[in-house]
Structure 1
Amino acid sequence: MIEILNPTLLTRARDTGALVADILQTVKSRSTIGTNLLDIDRWAKDMIVEAGATSCYVDYAPSFGRGPFGHYICTAVNDAVLHGRPYDYPLADGDLLTLDLAVSLGGVAADAAISFIVGDTRPPESVALISATERALAAGIAAAGPGARIGDIAHAIGTVLTTAGYSINTEFGGHGIGSTMHQDPHVPNTGRPGRGYTLRPGLLLALEPWVMADTARLVTDADGWTLRSATGCRTAHSEHTIAITDDGAEILTMPKQGPA
């Protein structure tokens, strides 16, 4: 199903996107050495409930998971990259943490992810991974607009990632979003320009480039959810929900600018 939002629903989508961005930035600011992943999940739950929103994850039970997910936020550490299920783990200096959050507010969902390094140690490989996904996300957004095609976005993302030296896994990528978290069209992280669905104003897309340092192969944890690099290498993941507008693309999950 592909949804095209009317102006009323687009306003609600902006509210949802702002909430997702606020929760992610708040949790990031609290995530320090010694922070437990289960505390992060609890913080996310409290903020979602306080806002009158609904988690897209707690009851999420797709065919590829061992559902339901049962938590409010995805917490992927180091070699984990997608669907990281929170567990009893205190963060250490230099850990690469990815937070992925999707909520629904007013009947419209938004989805975003950020990767960052905990503490003061800055492993160069981790810095490079995060930078590549952020640049790829920016390129994908720049390629989006009315009349563009899904392949244009996929090509822009994939060009950045491959130029940076990373191989691309095509099992999971971006997606349409609206009244539910995952919808058509699928947005792969590599592709050919000029191909695929033509973008229209009112369409929401969650774009999410992710990479692993030295492999494109994933393995699944015993929890049935957490996806890790097959080699144990580090990973990174960046995501925004965007709305296609008459003029281009509007980022709905952009954090507010303010003092550091």
Structure 2
Amino acid sequence: MTAGQKSAGRGGGRLRLVVAEDDALLRAGIALVLETDEGLEVVGQAADGLEAVRLCQELRPDVVLMDVRMPGIDGIEATRRIVAGPHPARVLVLTVFQHDEYVWEALRAGASAFLLKRASPERLIEAVRAVAAGEALLDPAVTRALVDRIAGATPGQALSQPEDPRLGRLTTREREVLRLAAEGCSNPEIATRLFLAESTVKTHMKRVLAKLGARDRAQAVAISYRGGLMSS
């Protein structure tokens, strides 16, 4: 077995995590960083996507930290299976490159967040806690790279299908909030850009999720890209 594994107990209410990364040294380093926070417990480590899926079925973690480029089934397919499984966990994708084509596919597969691997330990722990709380953390560097990629495409490439009809349910303000979220802006940043209170932004985002039928912010962002909002 290539993965270390701890007791499947709840650990006194600590968040239960699985780290999926094919680089053994990096995997161990991520686990070590996470366990500096007494509220987090790494219950399993996987060296490939198939092992990550198996560990999630056995250990039922709250959050999986997922590398996308792994042998066997990659992190995208692993994410798809974990999210669709009987005991779904939230998936935080870790990537090296901000222009990683896999990021978009990971969002479509059901990932709740993505973060660059060069993020600080504090940022990593913050991301895990945010994802476990049902929020989505979208690294601005990566989301803005996706926006740039779409903006640089030809009109036919940028929008391959009619706008998702769910986007038509949004008010003008809700579309503005979603567009900024898709660009990687946090709620405080959106509030500043739109001259709104942060509580108002949160209310708009809740309404966006409800109208789109999205489970979280990351899925709403995926809908905005796939549905053509970011190319309109």
Return the TM-score normalized by structure 1: 0.26
Higher RCO, Cα 8 Å, sep 6+: 1
Higher helix share: 2
Higher strand share: 1
Return the TM-score normalized by structure 2: 0.28
